[in-house]
Structure 1
Amino acid sequence: MVYTSPDAIDFTLDDCPPLSRPQRVVLTSPDHFDVQYVINPHMSGNIGGVNRAAALQQWKALRAAYSALDIEPLIVDGQSGLPDMVFCANQTLPFHNPMSDTSGVVLSNMHAPERQNEVPHYEQFFRSVDYEVLNLPDGLDTDFEGMGDAIWHPGRFLLWGGYGFRTDRDTYEALSDLLGVRVLALALSDPEFYHLDTCFSVLDENSVLIYPGAFDTDGIAMIEQFFDTVVDAPEGEARHQFACNAHCPDGDHVFIQEGCTVTMKRLREAGFRPVELDTSEFLKSGGSVFCMKQMIW
């Protein structure tokens, strides 16, 4: 059920059960956001350099953007001593099983020790909204960073999984068994694209935004096999402005870091409506829109 090359694929999208789009968004307040250590290349040189007042205003603008699309924001309070907790895509993988019509969440095994204490706060949150809380199997000594690397295919019970830096390849075997889902696993090799969500942003069932340079030939072939429209972001915008850390919550609007002019032009040509947002303070820590939210059912 885990596929790493196009030659191994023995199914089509029609074989994957339909999956509704999640309609609520989890956001974590940036009260304690800062760059206090270096665990990815983008953080280097930015320790102590966050303008917290500006970060708060940028976060509020993101919250307002979701509200404007009638997507209900649910707020988790950031915690002292956990400056990266604001990037709430990483600590969990929410799921909805379309066969049983039940929702749950798989907790992450964070790669960096600095971030491991974030996970219990999200476990508490998901229990409060009556989600079933699952852990990876006992004895499985692998890293897993939630929806930073594991991303649902829009409209289908099918998971895309990045591996190589923050999530281990073997994790997807466990996730596939745990959830009963097929996984298309993509190898990552560039440390600046350390999560799948830095180079791969699903738009709708047939469309995706990617930075091609982050993938090997097998990865590109699998992406092209399952998406009719593949929008390429140029290297500069992907690498320095996190163009592919965009988020399309409704199959129409694409929340994206401001100034990604070429990427936005290509998105418009593909029929999407880019919405520019300033996440410049969060870029200092290696994250933008997609990192800052978690969609749930």
Structure 2
Amino acid sequence: MSQTERLPRMRTYLMCPPDHFTVDYVINPWMDVTVPVDAGLAGKQWTLLRDTLVDLGHTVHVLDARPGLPDMVYAANGAFSVDGTVYGARFRYPQRTDEAEAHRLFYTADTWSYASPVHVNEGEGDFAYLPGAYGGMILAGYGFRTDPAAHAEAQEVLGRPVVSLRLVDPAFYHLDTALAALDDRHVAYFPEAFSPASQRVLAQLFPDAVLADRADAEAFALNLVSDGRHVILNTEATAFGAKVRDAGYSPVHVDLGELKRGGGSVKCVVAELRR
């Protein structure tokens, strides 16, 4: 498919500024408390990402950061929305627990239908939605953060079939570090991040997927945001940028190196709001 046939769709996003971002604890393999965070640089990188999304025509809402919640900048983890219904997050680690309430208040202050979770899940960190695939499908990861029981709970709340995928590499602890939706029907992923059975499922569902290698995945190339044509990914992911270009998409590189210190990149910082 040629690039001219890749059509962007205007999206609405939620971001939270890194006003209190730091690395004071370790809850994933990428965090290192011995390396200080450059708060000013993190803020500039975040602002550039927000401006990039706005310049592409998208709407970005901003959730106020809260003191004592340094990981709140990773806004994708706070909830997962489909067609105006929101399945709330319940974090695995106590350091992030209070983030869920901040997100709940954002949604309940508006006209969203909000469902509080019973089971541990980390929002879009472990859920991806493809509205054009098989009538509307949710891909869901488990193995490190989200309880697999949350997959069935999300299916009941959101009324969409959920495909469970087991993550097996601690470096790729969330689904959004190992798989990305490129548009409403197509994905990219790093096969070795998944169990052999989950690899077979993905190969069957998405035979034309863009496949990443380990170097791509370790560059957080799959932690991307796509509007169906423009694929926003970090500057470290140059090799994968060439792969998505070959697949007909237009890569847009943004430097998020400072925010990677907490174990996240473009997608972790951006939640999609789906009415």
TM-score (norm 1): 0.85
Matched, 1:133 2:110: no
Give the whole-Å Cα distance in 2 for the aligned partners of 1:82 and 1:206. 35
Runs of 4 or more off by more than 4 Å in structure 1? none
Match of 2:3 in 1: none
Paired letter, 1:128: A
Matched, 1:54 2:32: no
Question: Aligned pair in 2 of structure 1 residues 203, 175: CA closer, same or farther (>3 Å)?
Answer: same
Give the whole-Å Cα distance in 1 for the aligned partners of 2:207 and 2:249. 15
Match of 1:197 in 2: 176
* SS of equivalent to 1:185: strand
Give the whole-Å Cα distance in 2 for the aligned partners of 1:71 and 1:231. 24
Structure 1: tracts of 5 or more residues without a match: 1-20, 97-102
Match of 1:259 in 2: 236
TM alignment of 1:74-223, pairs within 5 A: 74-96=61-83, 103-136=84-117, 140=118, 142-155=119-132, 156-223=135-202
Q: CA deviation at 1:113?
A: 0.4
Paired letter, 1:244: L
Match of 2:29 in 1: 41
* SS of equivalent to 1:31: coil
Give the whole-Å Cα distance in 1 for the aligned partners of 2:272 and 2:248. 23
- The question of whether the paired residues in 2 share the 8 Å contact of 1:46 and 1:285 is answered with no
Which digits, 9 at most, give the CA deviation of each residue in 1:134-153, with x for residues without a partner? Answer: 112xxx4x311111001101
Matched, 1:276 2:257: no
Paired letter, 1:158: M
Paired letter, 1:256: L
Match of 2:52 in 1: 65
* SS of equivalent to 2:244: helix
Structure 2: tracts of 5 or more residues without a match: 1-8
Question: Aligned pair in 2 of structure 1 residues 63, 88: CA closer, same or farther (>3 Å)?
Answer: same
Give the whole-Å Cα distance in 2 for the aligned partners of 1:173 and 1:216. 20
Paired letter, 2:230: H
Q: CA deviation at 1:47?
A: 4.7
Paired letter, 1:272: Y
Match of 1:12 in 2: none
Give the whole-Å Cα distance in 2 for the aligned partners of 1:270 and 1:131. 35
1:242 alignment partner, one of 193, 197, 220:
220
Question: Aligned pair in 2 of structure 1 residues 217, 123: CA closer, same or farther (>3 Å)?
Answer: same
Give the whole-Å Cα distance in 1 for the aligned partners of 2:246 and 2:136. 28
Paired letter, 1:50: V
Paired letter, 2:260: L
TM-score (norm 2): 0.92
Paired letter, 1:238: A
Give the whole-Å Cα distance in 1 for the aligned partners of 2:156 and 2:13. 27
Q: CA deviation at 1:112?
A: 0.5
Give the whole-Å Cα distance in 2 for the aligned partners of 1:79 and 1:170. 30
Q: CA deviation at 1:130?
A: 1.5
Q: CA deviation at 1:273?
A: 0.7
- The question of whether the paired residues in 1 share the 8 Å contact of 2:87 and 2:158 is answered with no
Give the whole-Å Cα distance in 1 for the aligned partners of 2:125 and 2:252. 21
- The question of whether the paired residues in 2 share the 8 Å contact of 1:94 and 1:105 is answered with yes
Give the whole-Å Cα distance in 2 for the aligned partners of 1:154 and 1:246. 18
Paired letter, 2:59: E
Give the whole-Å Cα distance in 2 for the aligned partners of 1:200 and 1:184. 13
Paired letter, 1:242: F
Give the whole-Å Cα distance in 2 for the aligned partners of 1:193 and 1:263. 17
Give the whole-Å Cα distance in 1 for the aligned partners of 2:150 and 2:30. 25
